[in-house]
Amino acid sequence: QITLKESGPTLVRPTQTLTLTCTFSGFSLSTSGVAVGWIRQPPGKALEWLALIYWDGDTRYCPSLKSRLTITKDTSKNQVVLTVTNMDPVDTATYYCAHRDGEKFDYWGQGTLVTVSS
C-alpha cells in the first residue's frame, strides 16, 4: 500500500525559504521508473505542478518557478524534500506530494497548507 505525507511549516514570512518534506511508504525511490512530484494549489484555484524527481536523481521543474525550486531525495529515509526560495504571499497554497507512475500521479498525500504572511 502506497502512502505519502507532507510535512513542514504552516506559516512562513515573505522572502523566507520554504522547506517541505514528503515521507512515503509502499515503494522505493531507488526502483527504476519511480518518481515523486510536488503539486500545489492556492486556495480556490487550480492545481499547479512544481517539480519531479526520478529514481536516478534526474529532476524536472515548472519552467516559470525553476529558479526558486530545488527537489532532492533521501532514498534511505524514503523522503523527498522541496525547497522554495523567496516566498511571497502568492505562494500561499496547499502543497501536495504524489507518486508518479508512467505519466500519471496515482497516489497523493493529504496535502499541507502553507501560508505566507508577515
Partner 1 sequence: SYELTQPLSVSVALGQTARIACGGTNIGIKNVHWYQQKPGQAPVLVIYRDSNRPSGIPERFSASNSGNTATLTISRAQAGDEADYYCQVWDSSTVVFGGGTKLTVL
Should residue 49 be labelled a site residue for partner 1 when binding is judged by CB under 8 A?
A: yes
Grid cell of 53 as nine digits: 524527481
Fill in the DSSP letter of residue 57.
S
Q: How many residues bind partner 1 (CB under 8 A)?
A: 21
Residues 68-97 that bind partner 1 (CB under 8 A): 96
Should residue 37 be labelled a site residue for partner 1 when binding is judged by CB under 8 A?
A: yes
Among 60, 65, 69, 70, the residue binding partner 1 under the rule CB under 8 A is: 60
Burial code (b: 16+ CB inside 10 Å, e: under 16) for 67-97 equals ebbbbebeeeebbbbbebeebeeebbbbbbb
- Closest listed residue to residue 52, CA positions, set 41, 32, 67, 66: 66
Should residue 62 be labelled a site residue for partner 1 when binding is judged by CB under 8 A?
A: yes
Among 63, 76, 90, 118, the residue binding partner 1 under the rule CB under 8 A is: 63
Contacts to partner 1 by CB under 8 A: 37, 39, 46-49, 52, 60-63, 96, 102-106, 108-111
